[in-house]
Amino acid sequence: MSGVAAGTVAGTAAEAAVGDDPSGVGSAAGSSLRPRLTTRQLALVSAITKSASLKRRLIDATEALHEGAVVRIGEEAARLGPVIGSGLVGVVHRATLEETARVVAVKRARARLAFFREAFRVERRTAAKLADRPELGCARIVAFGDHFLAKELVTGPTLAELLVRSTIDRVQRVALEAVLDVVRHGLDAWQIALDVSPKNLAWDGRWVLLDAGPKMKVGDVARIADARSFDAYVRAYRAKLADGPSAPSAVAAPASAEEKLSSPGNHVFVRDFWRWFPLDEDVDVHSFLVDPDEAMSSDEIAVERLASGDFVPAQGLPPAVLDSAVAAWANTEPASRAVALASIARSATGRLHRVLNAAELPIPTVSVRPYHHYRDVLEPSLGHSPLDLYCHEVMPAGPGNAPSAANTSKGALTRLRIPTPPGTFAELGYRRAPSSNRAYVLVPGFRAGIDAATPLVRTLIERGHRGCFLAARLGVRNAKGQPLVTGGVWEVPLLVQVVDYAVTALDVSAVTLIAASHGAAAAMDVAAIHPAVDRLVLDSPLERPLELFFHAASFHDLDRNGARDLLRAHDLPFDERVLDVPSRSGLRSLALRPSPDRITDVCGFAGGASRVVEYRGPHAATMRHDVSERGIPVVCLEAIDAFHDET
């Protein structure tokens, strides 16, 4: 860890952080210093803790967040730096708080499992308990959410580093024996097992516990505490001593082929990992420091496979998810979120399955010439080709369209990028309005950049909408680096990545997709399959998007077959299907219909929305390149307000 670790605690601040916990830490149930788990959840934890291969399965299934990602931690936002440690429950990054530029350690849970949430809750309570112990400091928690913790950082060396280098002194030895007394007190008085392994203790004038998360099994910790001597402690941990960043011991074990889960007994399909895990049928409840609580949510378990061979889905589980889980059991597909969504999509449409397997999608070879208005493409004398409609270069602001300096700076979005497949891009703008676990993901239309969504974000916040706002410009680049749209084909897997980023990094539980014009094509597909999307707002959604290209081609003396040949020659995808707004359980939709609108006259207006509201204004009026000058029609804003107010 190179001497970098989460730092010491100030008692009052730690207590205040815990006291502000909205999840119920201060309540009778929330005040427990032991994780609360159902019988099945404990059986899952027990099976994993007994098996190095299952630990590797869990670790390998963790979705990594890239360096530079912005994450939400309660009411704070932090930009992640490099990984500085990891454990079975979470991964720790060096990070910087966005508002204060303070450097912290951010711990992120590996998945949305009840056990991980409980471990984070218990860690907050334990940190507060240790705040006034002179023998043992504890990393001060400065911000927290259900699946993220931000802690102070210290630069003191870890005990592991001191032992490996044989540089530990007498003062540190004596201080460690006092720490073992605290461990025994924790077991006897608080019924918690502290992790005092060498990589979890740092020296900063006293020993500082870097991670106050609970040890689940009592035995090993009790033996360490009972020894109460430095030499006995070192003997217990000698085999695990190693220099370098903290990591689960299962990571160091030799990699082996993924075992097929064919053993008898019950197994569960864990939704966040999209993998099967066995349940321990012989779990020894007394060997774990937990509070049994059958009322705890088990929403992370999507399907259970009984020893009889029957598959039992969770209540309300979409049939396609069950089909994908059964296929994963049979090892007919690799386990990953992308494959999971592709499997769901295949049950609805073969096209979506191909689209979500990005390796099957070519990068277009076409070169384009930017246009000012789509009508320019209809005029051969201006030197345009119908292929220029695929240009996605942001439309420059004309003399009358330039936003004022005040509008440009007011409510500006923080720019982000996420890793995407070669040849593609996903440019994001981020802004947060606190006190909500909802994300709004906005996708503007043709030649509209992130700035085209900024006025809508700002106005929604002013009108009382709360949550995390992400504006996304998505597409591919040709060999010259020109940005292109692909009619919703490449945009679908990219938008899935954006929604996944919102759920994983911004720690939200629900997503509203807001899309305009061609951006609506990808939004409709993603809303049809992504379980996090529960609200869909579409401005000027096109029923037959490719008709605009065919319409332009007709002005260049190309019939439909000639137009198709032109697309094939440049590896441009063409999809002549008729789009409609998806309908599935748990999804509500609102469509905003402009009038008059030449583009929907040509392409048709996608039907099927739960509610349709007409407005007087241009195509995609809510997120145009010139929206700062034109303004957003009030009827659109009122419709979005009413739509979100509905229960």
* Residue ranges of domains in the chain: 5-244, 403-645
Higher confidence at residue 92 or residue 577? Answer: 92
* The pLDDT value given to residue 203: 95
Six token digits for residue 641:
């307000």
The 10s digit of each residue's pLDDT in 58-111 is 888 888 899 999 999 988 999 999 999 888 899 999 999 998 999 999 999 998
Arithmetic mean of pLDDT over the chain: 83
Scanning the structure block, which residue is given the tokens 């966040």? 272
Q: In the chain, count of helices (H) and strands (E)?
A: 22, 26
CATH fold of 5-244: Phosphorylase Kinase; domain 1 (3.30.200)
Alpha-carbon distance values, 405 to 118, 402, 408, 628 (Å): 47, 9, 5, 11
Q: Which of 376, 362, 371 is nearest to 393 (CA)?
A: 371
What would you report as the CA-atom Rg of the chain, rounded to the nearest whole angstrom?
27
Structure confidence at residue 57 (pLDDT): 85
Which of 88, 85, 87 has its CA nearest to residue 54? 88
Rounded Cα distance between 45 and 201, Å, is 25
Rounded to whole angstroms, the Cα distance separating 579 from 472 reads: 21
Residue 29: is its pLDDT beyond 70?
no
- Residue 244 — very low, low, confident or very high, per pLDDT cuts 50/70/90? low
Question: DSSP character for 399?
Answer: T
Choice among 27-41, 117-131, 166-180, 267-281 with the minimum mean pLDDT: 27-41
Determine contact, residues 273/61, Cβ cutoff 8 Å. yes
pLDDT, tens only, 396-442: 754 444 444 434 445 689 998 888 888 999 999 999 888 788 999 99
3-state DSSP assignment of residue 510: strand
Which CATH code for domain 403-645? 3.40.50.1820
- 409: which 2 tokens? 């700076």
- Tell me what pLDDT residue 319 has: 67
DSSP string for residues in 228-245: -SHHHHHHHHGGG--SSS
Cα distance between residue 501 and residue 336, in whole Å: 15
Residue 250 has pLDDT above 80, yes or no: no
- Residue predicted with more confidence, 249 or 143: 143
Is the pLDDT at 610 greater than 80? The verdict is yes
Rounded CA-CA distance 127/130 in Å is: 5
Distance, in Å, from the CA atom of 99 to the CA atom of 525, rounded to the nearest integer, reads 36
What is this structure's pTM?
Answer: 0.84
Distance in angstroms (rounded) separating the CA atoms of residues 470 and 454:
10
pLDDT band per the 50, 70, 90 thresholds, residue 569? very high
In the predicted model, is pLDDT for residue 513 greater than 60? yes
